Amino acid sequence: MPQSRIVRISDDALARALGADELAAAFERKGHEVHRTSSWGMHWLEPLVEIEGMGFGPANIGDVDAILDGSSEKAIGEIVEHPFIARQQRLTFARAGQTRPTSLEDYLATGGGIGLRRARQIGPDKVLEEVLASGLRGRGGAGFPTGIKWKTVAQTPAEQKYIVCNADEGDSATFADRMVMEGDPYALLEGMAIAGLAVGATQGYIYVRSEYPDSIRKLNEALKHCAPIIAPFRCEVRVGAGAYVCGEETSLLNSIEGKRAEVRAKPPLPAIEGLFGRPTVVNNVLTLAAIPHILEEGGSSIYDKLGVSRSKGTMPIQLAGNIRHGGLFEIAFGITLRELIYDIGGGTESGRPVKAVQVGGPLGAYLHPDQFDIRFDYEEYTEADALIGHGGITVFDDTADMGQMARFAMEFCAAESCGKCTPCRIGAVRGVELIDRIRAGGRAADAVEIQPVMHNAPKQGRLPEQEIALLTDLCETMKYGSLCALGGFTPFPVMSALKNWPEDFMPRETAANVAERNDA
């Protein structure tokens, strides 16, 4: 009987969706000890098998024997030496791939708990000072300085305050929150406990979307184990119900309160009147998970030294869509899109040229290859009429139809609008119709317009360029008239697609209009 070895396989949802459970069972049947760890974030290699530091992937059950006898063609060498890993600056994801997610023992053995212990020693004022000094900005998308938000809550007197973690990660191309919750749940809980200590809140809520069953399970398990450590801070997991708009902080608060998740007008800011009308810190998972490191001795100055201009520290960037090396890549701000897509991501998976890249999820702009020198930095993206959002990058190859993608952006907004404000609720529906008409080559005059009494109405219908002017106008209205980012940012993908790929908005060559032309 050969010697039993320790085999490490991730139990992240993505690895499990690709058969990691079955693979783990196969190694166990061979008499080996399987440790289910978090994911390294090299998703194209999942399920990734690690034995004594050496990696094999993407592995399936048929590879088990070859991996064990060392003859597998799926060997990638030493994992920590892999260029994708070696190039990163992992702070939030320092434990990725290395610990068992819900093992408190693993967490404490890898520096877990130090931040909270130190926070208790130095007290709330110093904690606030250090978070401010670190330059940390909200990782959810808006990029608001975390220290200022915390300070506002700390300075607002109230009998009860709350820490709310926004884990409603609904943006396509984003999965970093999910990987924290599934891979390092204690780091998030520690961050929340530190936030509670800093602002004087004893109750926390983590609002997780229902599409993340693994995250919900692991957070609840982790909470059970670490309750005595984070006490007197208490925390509860709340499960969403399939509404994308809950990623907006005020609608998330309404949802926890048990209401329709409609957006609230601001002011009042949640920091002053938030959950149940009380001062509330609402932070994204990545923001809170960055806190334990910042609170370690010297952590805030390390954080402040990384990055560029006002974008400090590291950003867990998510490479998704049609990309060869997709996964999680954490690095200091300032890296260019070109490096991310080609040097790190290896170009498209299909092998075709890159046509467009959407940064920042469904509400982010589509960037053209001409713009790929843009550096990852909040301000630089804002200047380019784009946004970093939650750091998700979706790559499209040259088969993508950008007119169709622009239409989808409007369709998505219409499906997910909370209905509170008119530009979003109605504008999105009109946007879909307009894009359809542009792509159909304009429209004929309608029944009312052709009435003789309608003296001022155009009698010849509308040309595509007139419809495009209308779409541009609609986007302006949505951008400046919507209450939240859903309606306000939907114009980003639409207008960027229109600007960069106008040919994709040209009338489709359909059988009907070919016949029409031939008749004429």
Instruction: Give residues in contact with other proteins (CB under 8 A).
Output: 13-14, 16-18, 43-44, 46, 169-175, 178, 210-214, 236, 238-244, 255-261, 276, 318-323, 326-327, 349, 358, 361-362, 392, 394-397, 400, 405, 408, 412, 415-416, 418
Distance of CA 25 to the CA centre of its chain: 32
Residue 473 CB coordination number (10 Å): 11
Give the residue with the Cβ less far from other proteins, 392 or 427: 392
Residue 514 CB coordination number (10 Å): 10
Give the residue with the Cβ less far from other proteins, 244 or 303: 244
Contacts of range 31-34, beta carbons closer than 8 Å, 24 or more positions apart: 31/1, 31/2, 31/4, 32/4, 32/5, 32/6, 32/7, 32/68, 33/4, 33/5, 33/6, 33/7, 34/6, 34/7, 34/8, 34/9
Question: Nearest approach, Cβ of 402 to other proteins (angstroms)?
Answer: 12
Question: Nearest approach, Cβ of 388 to other proteins (angstroms)?
Answer: 16
Give the residue with the Cβ less far from other proteins, 363 or 471: 363
Question: Nearest approach, Cβ of 211 to other proteins (angstroms)?
Answer: 6
Question: Nearest approach, Cβ of 227 to other proteins (angstroms)?
Answer: 16
Give the residue with the Cβ less far from other proteins, 53 or 213: 213
Q: Distance (Å, rounded) from C-alpha 161 to C-alpha 99?
A: 33
Give the residue with the Cβ less far from other proteins, 221 or 383: 221
Question: Nearest approach, Cβ of 502 to other proteins (angstroms)?
Answer: 20
Question: Nearest approach, Cβ of 352 to other proteins (angstroms)?
Answer: 11
Q: Distance (Å, rounded) from C-alpha 237 to C-alpha 204?
A: 9
Question: Nearest approach, Cβ of 147 to other proteins (angstroms)?
Answer: 27
Contacts of range 116-125, beta carbons closer than 8 Å, 24 or more positions apart: 116/190, 116/193, 116/194, 116/197, 116/229, 116/230, 116/292, 116/295, 118/295, 118/296, 118/297, 119/194, 119/197, 119/198, 119/295, 120/197, 124/154, 124/197, 124/198, 124/199, 124/200
Contact predicate 137/294, CB 8 Å: no
In 3-state terms, what secondary structure has residue 9? strand
Give the residue with the Cβ less far from other proteins, 358 or 482: 358
Question: Nearest approach, Cβ of 474 to other proteins (angstroms)?
Answer: 21
Give the residue with the Cβ less far from other proteins, 79 or 359: 359
Give the residue with the Cβ less far from other proteins, 50 or 416: 416
Q: Which residues contact 89 (CB under 8 A, 6 or more apart)?
A: 306, 314, 330, 331, 332
Q: Which residues contact 276 (CB under 8 A, 6 or more apart)?
A: 160, 162, 257
